[in-house]
């Protein structure tokens, strides 16, 4: 939650994390499989129902305050617990006093709102769950007694279908592209049953027996519950097409929908000489936006669950587009949940580890050390939990009950998987960096020492000189011969390889057709990023065109959970044994946002909060490109073609690096040579820089 | 929960412990201080909202089942999670199949009731909270779809005041003795405010400014919510007296109350030659009964919370009276709660330890190994939590955040308190015994080894030869000179002392007026029990007459939280800084039930479930006594005077031991001499034994 300490305005407060944890509990059971509940299959954590808030004030005169609570409450002063009040208006005595307010709520999160001339609830209040834990209260943008946290809802706006037609005597609506929300019937009349079949594809909507989402209601009842002549269905769904089967005695004027979404600012742009890439970029933005809701979801049709590995990527895409930190924070908090840690996040070992890396990314992109401070303890106990799972060689292994995922692919993940060790080493580095930022030197040292140890051991035990990459796993002390791209790719991402090893990995692993190809957009995200890190922009551009462009060719309006060009027609829609099991709007499909922002426009923070950052634009075979990347408070804008680069920024200090075939010129700043045809220009906020160069 | 595996009738099932934990959450916030919420100040654990049940059947034909759930549910077969049903009637296929039913409920406990010809929910079903924990489902007596667990309520019966009078123009009702329940107004009319002041004493009811419990309602509104002409107040209260202040425009015919209680069978009796003791015994039964409700409470007026140290004693009293195991089990489960353990039970170190001892007592008195099996893991993690708190000498110390209680008395509990070590040693012994019963030999051995080590260390470090008892505490490695009765008393109870040490403790500590006296009924319970263990029945009888008799002299109708004979008049009612802060109906006040049953009638189980037991009756100065003690399935009845002992039992094998000044005779069995004037008779179930002897 954003800390509102700077302002004196009152806001609703609660036990930190509990708003997010309660919201996560509710959202995790929204999934319906053909109308029937399909809850998340991991422990859903719950808010504390019984908490006490406290605050110490010192005032020269008494003060009248108003008190609102979600739940039952009692207020007492100076520890005199027998002398309690639950009045809505209370006069507090002058002088120095401590107020305590106990709040109980076993349905929604216990929350408190107090407003007086000076005494107002905000994050300078503390709260306890009675576990020896007086901690700063959580709060957010709930700044009025009439909008308590439990009333939180996403935004709604009406949408109309773009076309209607009759299919087999039933109305088929097409909303033009994938959307999400509540179907509405205007002026519903008559009586009888109405069955609704939703489809992300037309084939799905037309398959009454196999479409994933459906609804059913009795028209007479529904009409009676209409508001202003409109009957709105209870549950929001993901769809482009809707096929409506109604009994003949049922009539209506019109069907529309209420689109449900998080209001965001489109803070990024990307436009280049290839219109297909522009289309891919914008469709990626829409795909990501649909999946960023109460939390970052995997996909809006099917699971609607919060998966840590999926979220890790969505966080990065978000930093290069909407830079919405509320959804990011909610997701980080919900994923971590509460103690005791018994199972891994989403039951997946790797998904616990991604959380550390996501937490550090959040810090790097935002500089929000207050948030890190608030949740650092939860990171420490998560790391304790993970480290306890190391085998006798000190390598992290899945337990019987753990899912070691890595990727949807044909390999075994038993024993110690090298990718897991790389993710653990990075997680430990991240914990070391955060511990240091919080002034905990000894923890920082011990984390980094362990990180180095695991990194060294992993390279030593898994690196295969003859094959030029990291082998996949090690069982009972013996490294197995399977070679996959995954570990090498992450080792390259986190800079764990020597220069020769990097070159070898790119040549012998990443670009080697003999190594099993990566087929999921999930891992393609990392694969293509790594290829960009190695300067393979041209190759990446072509891959994006063929993979994402391929989906568009097949009529996609948002990007899919998986895409296999070899499949025919409606076979694309199947997955997990269901004819329409595949999600056609999946967050991890939006990877081009990240690729274009970070590797083509080339913007990366080099210190927290973008106080310093790098600009390493790369046309990757394009004639020109221009675009904007948000940098927290500000943004960087770049335009580039084969002879000119223009850069403009509003905050922080950038270092533009580029290659030129002849010495470049710039009127606004000095151009320094970095050798080997590389040049650098320091970019200050507020100026526009134009560089003449030759690509 | 009672395991209903033997019967095939269907019952509601849930995640084991969650029914009790949810009920405990609700009851822990019932306390009101002058009408205002006063919640328990420890973490209230919560039920899992998201669980899945499973069951494997094998049937030659398909079977139609009806499904009822508290919460939303979905049923699927053979792991085919995409193919779910939430129909109330489902036909299951023939053959061998596994049913899974997911239930989500974030308000009440997710619960399931399935009924078919063969397939029926009961404790042979398993349930998971998605923590790698398929465990037998919890269930109880909820055997009909229309009486789900969330509808659980105690019994109600109308009661009338025994007298009414006007005091200062307002009606004062007297219900004759302490009671608990909902006040009711018959034929309430008019409009205006009604204020109600409750009192356990008349003085309290008449003190509108200081009585602990009060109510307030508007008569017109109240009348509108009347049912069958009766307005029943929402919240139950503890009181004998009620003073009603109503506006003049308010009228009613009559005021009564609905008594709320757990239906119990009075399975014990005690009658002796001293009518005062008989009165004390019966008043103790009533006191205990009022405090055994959803759980064993400390007191019905004030906290209404579940305290482990208080419950430990109430459990024992219950074994000698109602033998109600439902309240016992609910209390044991609620106290343990869920992980992670961060604070001790009720924040008190000793209270975590009493739980182990209570758990073993439950096993000893009932033989219910299924219950032990179900909760053994929670005992193990509690012990891990406690053991982690030992200091460098291996002694258990309170942390900064812990309350080391021992007793309300003038001594310091810093450092390692000897009483705590004795309780820890006993807890470890108990864990060893239970581990052995469950077949876990290595755990049993390691627990008992540690128990021996702590016992030896405690006697070595705390025993003071010159003062003849255990010193109170040890700070920074130095045993302090404070001598209290407590550690010696518990060491004696658990048989940790040599014969000489026992004698010394009785003489130099327990009966030594120079050692600070025990003033709370809470510790008097243990003190008087220990004195009986040492044959001081005559002394104990006199103490009971003076202490409990003293309360009766002052008008008590139930026994108090504390009694100090030196106080004058209404000063008896004050405690915790409140004029009427003292509870006048406190469970621990009912100790005579235990003293009379266990030490005068003399019945003690010597093996689990009373399969064998001891009968060591002792008149303790009485001319005669007779009484009955329940022994689980059966009972033992004894009559005794100075020349005859009659014994009759219905179950198990007893060993009657008594002292006689001349050789006793018995027609029904052989009388064996045990030396020193002690004699033994083996008592078989179903016979009546009459022994002639001389006291």
**A102-134: per-residue pLDDT in tens?**
999 999 999 999 999 999 999 999 999 999 999
**Beta pairing, strands A612-615 & A653-659:** parallel
- Is the pLDDT confidence value at B3 over 60? no
Q: Model confidence over B494-515: pLDDT tens digits?
A: 999 999 999 999 999 999 999 9
Query: B33 to chain A: which residues are within 8 Å by CB?
Result: 74, 81-84
> Residue B578 in contact with residue B212, Cβ under 8 Å?
yes
Of A41, A84, A104, the CB nearest to B130: A41
Between chain A and chain B, the number of residue pairs with CB atoms below 8 A apart is 130
- The first and second tokens of residue A218, run together, are 């009795």
Write down the pLDDT at residue A7: 45
Is A29 close to B72, i.e. CB distance below 8 A?
yes
- Is the pLDDT confidence value at A5 over 50? no
Angle between the B441-462 and B369-387 helix axes, to the nearest 10 degrees?
A: 50
Residues of chain A within CATH 2.60.120.260 domain(s) are: 13-148, 155-261
Q: The CATH number of B155-261 is which of 1.25.40.10, 2.60.40.2550, 3.30.420.130, 2.60.120.260?
A: 2.60.120.260
Query: A51 to chain B: which residues are within 8 Å by CB?
Result: none
> Residue B228 in contact with residue B284, Cβ under 8 Å?
no
- The first and second tokens of residue B311, run together, are 């419950």
- Stretch (H or E) spanning B605: strand B603-605
Q: How many CA atoms lie within 13 A of A155 on its CB side?
A: 9
A50, A129, A341, A575: best mutation site toward chain B, by most B Cβ within 10 Å?
A: A50
Helix/strand/coil percentages in chain B, nearest 5:
30, 30, 40
CA distance A318 to A597: 11
Residue written as token pair 């037609």: A165
Backbone angles phi, psi at B296, to 5 degrees: -75, 120
Q: Is the ipTM of this complex over 0.85?
A: yes
Residues of chain A within CATH 2.60.420.10 domain(s) are: 602-692
Apex A131 CA angle, A129 and A135, nearest 5 = 60
Is B82 close to A33, i.e. CB distance below 8 A?
yes
Write down the pLDDT at residue B408: 87
> Residue B308 in contact with residue B348, Cβ under 8 Å?
yes
Q: Which residue of A has its CA nearest to B31?
A: A82
Q: Domain A269-597 class?
A: mainly alpha
Residue written as token pair 């070898």: A504
Is B342 close to A132, i.e. CB distance below 8 A?
yes
- Is the pLDDT confidence value at B5 over 60? no
A36, A129, A215: best mutation site toward chain B, by most B Cβ within 10 Å?
A: A36
- Is the pLDDT confidence value at B457 over 90? yes
Of B28, B84, B347, the CB nearest to A36: B84
Write down the pLDDT at residue B7: 45
Distance in Å, alpha carbon of A248 to nearest chain B alpha carbon: 26
For chain A, how big is the Rg over CA atoms in Å? 27
Distance in Å, alpha carbon of A401 to nearest chain B alpha carbon: 6
DSSP A503-542: HHIIIIIIT-TTSPPP-SHHHHHHHHHHHHHTT-HHHHHH
Is B84 close to A39, i.e. CB distance below 8 A?
no
- Is the pLDDT confidence value at B193 over 80? yes
Q: Model confidence over A356-376: pLDDT tens digits?
A: 999 999 999 999 999 999 999
- Is the pLDDT confidence value at B6 over 50? no
> Residue B270 in contact with residue B601, Cβ under 8 Å?
yes
Taking CA atoms, A531 is separated from A528, A627, B34, in Å, by 5, 21, 70
Taking CA atoms, A454 is separated from A9, A352, A416, A451, B512, in Å, by 48, 17, 12, 5, 65
Closest among A535, A467, A455 to A501, alpha carbons compared? A467
> Residue A585 in contact with residue A303, Cβ under 8 Å?
no
Residues of chain B within CATH 2.60.420.10 domain(s) are: 601-692
Is B50 close to A72, i.e. CB distance below 8 A?
no
- Stretch (H or E) spanning B156: strand B155-159
- Stretch (H or E) spanning A225: none
- Stretch (H or E) spanning B6: none
CA distance A414 to A421: 13
CA distance B198 to B172: 10
Which ranges in A259-368 belong to alpha helices (H)? 275-291, 308-319, 325-336, 349-366
Q: Which residues pair with B607 in a beta bridge?
A: none
Query: A131 to chain B: which residues are within 8 Å by CB?
Result: 43, 342-343
CA distance B521 to B527: 9
CA distance B372 to B613: 21
- The first and second tokens of residue B113, run together, are 């009731």
**Coil, strand, or helix at residue B587?**
helix
Query: A104 to chain B: which residues are within 8 Å by CB?
Result: 29, 37, 39
Is B25 close to A49, i.e. CB distance below 8 A?
yes
Q: Domain B265-348+518-598 class?
A: mainly alpha
The 8-class DSSP code of residue A595 comes to I
Write down the pLDDT at residue A578: 92
CATH of domain B364-404+410-515: 1.50.10.10
Q: Model confidence over B50-109: pLDDT tens digits?
A: 999 999 999 999 999 999 999 999 999 999 998 999 999 999 999 999 999 999 999 999
Q: Model confidence over B619-677: pLDDT tens digits?
A: 999 999 999 999 999 999 999 999 999 999 999 999 999 999 999 999 999 999 999 99
Distance in Å, alpha carbon of A103 to nearest chain B alpha carbon: 8
Residues of chain B within CATH 2.60.120.260 domain(s) are: 13-149, 155-261
- The first and second tokens of residue B256, run together, are 């009564």
Of A34, A46, A131, the CB nearest to B49: A46
Residues of chain A within CATH 1.50.10.10 domain(s) are: 269-597
Residue B620 contacts by C-beta under 8 Å, 6 or more apart in sequence? B537, B538, B540, B541, B599, B600
State the pLDDT confidence band at A664, using cuts at 50, 70 and 90. very high
Is A86 close to B36, i.e. CB distance below 8 A?
yes
Write down the pLDDT at residue B133: 94
Backbone angles phi, psi at A267, to 5 degrees: -95, -5
Write down the pLDDT at residue A1: 36
The whole-number average pLDDT for the span A501-520 is: 94
Write down the pLDDT at residue B2: 38
Helix/strand/coil percentages in chain A, nearest 5:
30, 30, 40
Is A106 close to B107, i.e. CB distance below 8 A?
yes
CATH superfamily, with its number, for domain B13-149: Galactose-binding domain-like (2.60.120.260)
- Is the pLDDT confidence value at B183 over 50? yes
Query: A133 to chain B: which residues are within 8 Å by CB?
Result: 342
Q: Model confidence over B521-557: pLDDT tens digits?
A: 899 999 999 999 999 999 999 999 999 999 999 999 9
Is A82 close to B49, i.e. CB distance below 8 A?
no
Backbone angles phi, psi at B600, to 5 degrees: -90, -60
CATH of domain A13-148: 2.60.120.260
Q: Judge: domain B601-692, CATH 2.60.420.10.
A: yes
Q: Domain A602-692 class?
A: mainly beta
- Is the pLDDT confidence value at A6 over 60? no
**Coil, strand, or helix at residue B400?**
coil
Handedness of CA A429, A431, A432, A438 (dihedral sign): positive
């Amino acid at each position: 939650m954003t800390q509102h300490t700077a302002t004196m305005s009152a806001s609703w407060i609660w036990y930190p994390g509990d708003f997010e944890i309660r919201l996560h509990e509710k959202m995790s059971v929204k999934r319906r499989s053909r109308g029937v509940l399909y809850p998340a299959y991991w422990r859903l954590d719950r808010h504390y129902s019984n908490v006490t808030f406290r605050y110490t004030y010192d005032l020269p005169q008494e003060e009248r305050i108003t008190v609102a609570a979600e739940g039952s409450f009692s207020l007492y002063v100076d520890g005199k617990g027998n002398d309690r009040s639950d009045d809505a208006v209370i006069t507090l005595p002058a002088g120095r006093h401590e107020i305590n307010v106990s709040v109980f709520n076993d349905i929604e999160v216990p929350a408190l709102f107090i407003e007086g001339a000076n005494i107002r609830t905000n994050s300078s209040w503390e709260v306890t769950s009675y576990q020896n834990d007086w901690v700063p209260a959580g709060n957010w943008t709930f700044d009025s007694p009439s909008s308590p946290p439990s009333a939180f809802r996403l935004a709604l706006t009406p949408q109309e279908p773009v076309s209607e037609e009759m299919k087999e005597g039933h109305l088929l609506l097409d909303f033009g592209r994938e959307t999400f929300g509540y179907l509405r019937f205007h002026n519903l009349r008559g009586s009888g049953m109405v069955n609704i079949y939703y489809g992300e594809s037309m084939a799905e909507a037309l398959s009454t027996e196999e479409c994933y989402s459906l609804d059913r209601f009795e028209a007479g009842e529904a009409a009676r519950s209409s508001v202003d002549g409109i009957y709105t269905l209870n549950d929001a769904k993901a769809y482009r097409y809707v096929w409506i089967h109604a009994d003949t005695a049922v009539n209506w004027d019109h069907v529309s929908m209420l689109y449900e979404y998080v209001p965001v600012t489109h803070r990024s742009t990307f436009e280049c000489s290839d219109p297909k890439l522009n289309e891919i970029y914008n469709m990626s933005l829409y795909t990501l936006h649909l999946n960023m809701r109460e939390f970052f979801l995997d996909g809006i049709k099917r699971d609607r669950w919060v998966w840590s590995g999926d979220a890790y990527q969505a966080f990065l895409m978000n930093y290069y587009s909407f830079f919405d930190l509320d959804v990011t924070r909610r997701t980080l908090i919900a994923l971590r949940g509460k103690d005791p840690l018994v199972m891994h996040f989403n039951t997946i070992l790797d998904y616990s580890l991604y959380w550390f890396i996501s937490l550090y990314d959040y810090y790097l992109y935002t500089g929000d050390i207050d948030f890190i401070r608030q949740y650092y303890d939860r990171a420490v106990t998560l790391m304790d939990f993970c480290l306890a799972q190391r085998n006798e060689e000190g390598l992290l292994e899945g337990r019987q009950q753990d899912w070691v995922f890595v990727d949807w692919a044909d390999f075994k993940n038993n024993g110690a998987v090298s990718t897991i060790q790389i993710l653990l080493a990075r997680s430990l580095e991240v914990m070391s960096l955060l511990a240091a930022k919080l002034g905990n030197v000894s923890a920082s040292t011990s984390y980094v020492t362990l990180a180095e140890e695991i990194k060294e051991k992993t390279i030593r035990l898994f690196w295969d000189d003859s094959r030029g990459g990291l082998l996949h796993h090690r069982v009972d002390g013996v490294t197995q011969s399977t070679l996959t791209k995954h570990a090498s790719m992450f080792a390259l991402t986190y800079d764990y390889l020597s220069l020769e090893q990097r070159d070898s990995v790119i040549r012998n692993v990443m670009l080697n057709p003999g190594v099993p190809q990566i087929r999921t957009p999930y891992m393609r995200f990392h694969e293509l990023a790594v290829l960009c890190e190695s300067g393979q922009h041209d190759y990446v551009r072509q891959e994006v065109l063929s993979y994402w462009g391929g989906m568009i060719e097949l009529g996609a309006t948002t990007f899919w959970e998986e895409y296999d060009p070899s499949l025919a027609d409606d076979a694309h829609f199947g997955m997990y044994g269901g004819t329409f099991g595949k999600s056609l709007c999946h967050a991890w499909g939006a990877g081009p946002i990240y690729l274009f922002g970070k590797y083509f426009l080339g913007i990366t923070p080099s210190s927290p909060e973008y106080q310093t950052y790098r600009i390493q634009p790369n046309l990757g075979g394009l004639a020109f490109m221009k675009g904007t990347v948000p940098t927290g408070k500000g943004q960087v804008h770049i335009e580039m073609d084969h002879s000119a680069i223009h850069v403009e920024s509003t905050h922080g200090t950038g270092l533009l690096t580029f290659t030129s075939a002849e010495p470049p010129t710039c009127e606004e700043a000095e151009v320094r040579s970095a050798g080997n045809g590389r040049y650098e220009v320091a970019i200050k906020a507020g100026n526009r820089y134009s560089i003449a160069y030759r690509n």
